[in-house]
Amino acid sequence: MKSTLVRTLGFFKPYWGLLLISALCSAIVGGMDGAIAYLVEPVLKKIFAGKDTGIFLLVPAGIVTLSVVRGFARFIYDSTIKQAGQKAIQDIRNSLYASTIRQDMAFYNRKATGELMSRMTNDISQMQEGIGQVVTGLFRDLISAVSLMGVIFYRNWELAIISFVVIPATAYPAQLIGKKIKNASGRSLNVMGGLTAILQETFSGVKVIKAFGLEKQTIASFQATNLEFFRQIRRYIKYESLAMPVSEAIISLGVAGVVYFGGSQVISGRMTPSEFFSFITAMVMVFTPIKKLQGSYNVLQRSGGAAERVFHLMDERRAIVDRPGAADMGRSSGRVEFRNVSFNYGGEPVLRNISLVAESSRMVALVGPSGGGKTTLVSLIPRFYDVSKGAIFIDGLDIRDVTVASLVSQIALVDQETILFNESIANNIRYGKPGANLEEVAEAAKAAFAHDFIQQLPDGYDTNIGDRGLRLSGGQRQRICIARAILKNAPILILDEATSALDTESEQMVQKALDNLMVNRTTFVIAHRLSTVLHADTIIVLEQGRIVESGSNDDLLKNSSLYSRLHSLQFSDRNAGNPSDEP
C-alpha cells in the first residue's frame, strides 16, 4: 500500500508549483484555526472581566475579517490542489492508456475488452475520488490539527494529555476497518469489470441477441452480475459507515475526561472559566480535522485498491519488444521467408515446422480447413506474436532483429473484419498514412473504387461514418479499408479473407480494388473462396498447423490431394447453383 501511495504521489511532481501555493494557503487556513482558538481566552477575559467595550465592538468586525481572509485562502488552496490532482489523474490515465495500447495481441486475447474499459474508467475514477479528498484535505486538516494541538498543550498540558490519550486507541480499529474497506472496494471493482464486459459484449452483439430472442436471458445475466456488485458494495458501505461511529465513541472518552477534570480545576480555582472555555473550543475544533484525517484514511484505502489494479495493468510486461540494438530495416523489397517455424499458444501447438518463401511481388495463397493455422501464420509476420521455434526473415533479416516500428511499416493488412472508427472517411483512410493531404486520400480512394460513392455522401470525405462504420454497406467499408492499405504503400500485403462476407456484386467491386492494391506487392491471401486465389503464384495448403501441399493451382489439381477435393467440392456446389463460402 505504501509503495502504491508513493507511486501515486509521484505523479504530482510536475505540479510542485501548484502544491507550493496550496501548501502556503493551507498553512494560513490551519494557522487561523489555531489563532481563533488561542484568542478566545484573552478576548473573553477583556470583555467580561475587564469590561472592555472597545474590544467587544471590534469582535464582530474581526469575525467578518477573519472569515473573509480564511475563505479567500481556502479558495486558493482548494482550487490549486484540485487542479494538481486533476492533472495527476490525467497523467495516470494517459500512462495507463499508452501502456495498454502498446501491449501485444496475446495480452488482448487474455483480457476482456470490458475489463480494460473498467480499469480505464471506474478504477481511475476511484483513484480520482481518493486523490480529490485525501490530497485536498491533507495539508489543511493536518496543519489545522497541529496548530490547534499547540494551543491545547499551551493552555493546559495535563488536560491535553487526557484528551489525546484516546487518539492512539482509534488507530487499530481504523486500520482494521480500512483494510476491510480496501478489500471490499477491490472486490466490487472486479465485479464492475465483469459488468462493463457484459455491457460491451451485449451492445456490440445486440443483433444476435434480438435474432435469437435472447433478451430475457441477457437481462437475467446482467441482473445477476449487478446483484453481485451490490453485495460487494454493501460490504464496503457497512465498513465505511462503521468507521466514524467507532472513532467518535472512543474520542468521546477523552472529551468526557476533559470535561470532568477541567471542570474540577475551574471549581477549585486552578483554572479560570475563560481559560477552560478556550481549551474546550480548541479541543472541539481539533477533533474535526482529526476525524476528517481518519475519514481520508478510509478513502485512501478504497482508492488504494483501485490504484493497485491500475498500476498492475500499467506494469504488465510486453512480450513483443525491440531487442537491444534492433535496427531500422528501411524499405524492404518484400521477400519473406519462414524457416522451420513452429508456434505454440497456451501450451498447444498451432503451427508445426513451417518453411516457405514468398518472393518479392509474388502472391502466396493460404487455404485449407478452418482451424488449420492460416490466420496465425500471417499474424507472425508483423509480430503480433513471436515464433516459438525457427525464424521469419524479410530480405534476409530476422524480424526480431529489427525495430517493431520499422517492421510494421513494411506491412499493410486488410482483414475480414472491417475495422473503421467513428470519425470522417478521410481520417479513416489517413490511418494508412497520418498527415496525408486530401489529394493523396482521394487518389487512394480512387484506386480502391471508393471515390464515387464517397462523393455521393452528404459531406463527401468529411462524412462521419458512425460507430464501426455501420452507416456504410459491407462492400463500402471494405473498400475504405483497402484505400487505407493503398495509402500506406507497404511492400508486403496481408489479405485475411477480405471478401468472405460480401455478396457477389460487392465481391467483384472489392476484388477489382484488391487487384490494384496487390500490384508490385508481396501478398499473402487467406481465402475460403478458391476462385479468388486461382491465379496465385503459390498456393499453400494448411491442415492442423502443417503444410501438407504447395504449388500452383494447376499443379495441385493434377494430384489426388486435399486441395483437389476442396476445389471439387466448392466448384461443384457453384455449378449446382448452391455457392458455398466454406470449402
Q: Which grid coordinates belong to 315?
A: 506494469
Predicted pLDDT at 579: 45
Q: Is the dihedral of CA 276, 279, 285, 290 positive or negative?
A: negative
Predicted pLDDT at 573: 52
For residue 468, being part of any structural domain is answered with no
Does residue 231 sit in the same domain as residue 374? Answer: no
429, 479 in Cβ contact below 8 A?
no
Does residue 9 sit in the same domain as residue 110? Answer: yes
Neighbours of 32 (CB within 10 A): 18
Q: Is the dihedral of CA 107, 113, 114, 117 positive or negative?
A: positive
Please return the burial class of 86, using the count of CB atoms within 10 Å of its CB with bins 0-12, 13-18 and 19+: middle
> CA-CA distance, 518 to 495, in Å (whole number)?
10
Q: Which grid coordinates belong to 28?
A: 494560513
Render pLDDT for 460-498 as a digit per residue (tens, 0 to 9): 989 888 766 667 887 888 888 888 888 988 999 998 876
> CA-CA distance, 256 to 262, in Å (whole number)?
10
Cα distance between the two ends of the chain: 57
Residues with Cβ within 8 Å of residue 346, at least 6 apart in sequence: none
Does residue 156 sit in the same domain as residue 175? Answer: yes
Predicted pLDDT at 492: 93
For residue 320, being part of any structural domain is answered with no
DSSP character at residue 246: H
Does residue 257 sit in the same domain as residue 113? Answer: yes
Does residue 223 sit in the same domain as residue 332? Answer: no
pLDDT above 60 (res 224): yes
3-state secondary structure of 466: coil
- CA distances in angstroms from 195 to 104, 292, 348, 383, 472, listed in the order given: 25, 33, 31, 32, 30
At 398, which CATH number? Answer: 3.40.50.300
Does residue 127 sit in the same domain as residue 260? Answer: yes
pLDDT above 90 coverage of the chain, percent: 13
Predicted pLDDT at 503: 58
Indicate the range of 40-44, 91-95, 341-345 predicted with least confidence: 40-44
Render pLDDT for 43-84 as a digit per residue (tens, 0 to 9): 555 555 555 555 555 666 666 777 787 788 878 877 888 788
Residues with Cβ within 8 Å of residue 201, at least 6 apart in sequence: 114
Indicate the range of 29-38, 378-387, 416-425, 488-497 predicted with least confidence: 29-38
State the helix-helix crossing angle for 438-447 and 504-518, rounded to 10 degrees.
Answer: 120
The larger pLDDT score, comparing residue 305 to residue 220, is at: 220
State the helix-helix crossing angle for 273-314 and 53-101, rounded to 10 degrees.
Answer: 10
Indicate the range of 331-340, 349-358, 551-560 predicted with least confidence: 551-560
At 233, which CATH number? Answer: 1.20.1560.10
Q: Which grid coordinates belong to 235?
A: 460490504
The larger pLDDT score, comparing residue 357 to residue 162, is at: 357
Query: Residue 151 carries which side chain, given as an amino acid letter?
Result: V
The larger pLDDT score, comparing residue 529 to residue 170, is at: 529
Strands 522-526 and 411-415 come out as: unpaired
Quick one: how far is CA 497 from the chain centroid? 31
For residue 232, being part of any structural domain is answered with yes
> CA-CA distance, 188 to 234, in Å (whole number)?
9
Predicted pLDDT at 82: 77
Predicted pLDDT at 338: 95
Does residue 132 sit in the same domain as residue 268? Answer: yes
The number of domains in the chain is 2
pLDDT above 50 (res 5): yes
Residue 352, phi then psi, degrees to nearest 5: -130, 115
> CA-CA distance, 453 to 476, in Å (whole number)?
8
pLDDT above 50 (res 202): yes
For residue 441, being part of any structural domain is answered with no
- CA distances in angstroms from 314 to 340, 383, 397, 413, listed in the order given: 35, 21, 32, 28
For residue 54, being part of any structural domain is answered with yes
Predicted pLDDT at 582: 39
Boundaries of domain holding 332: 325-404+537-583
To 5 degrees, how large is the angle CA 558–CA 562–CA 565? Answer: 75
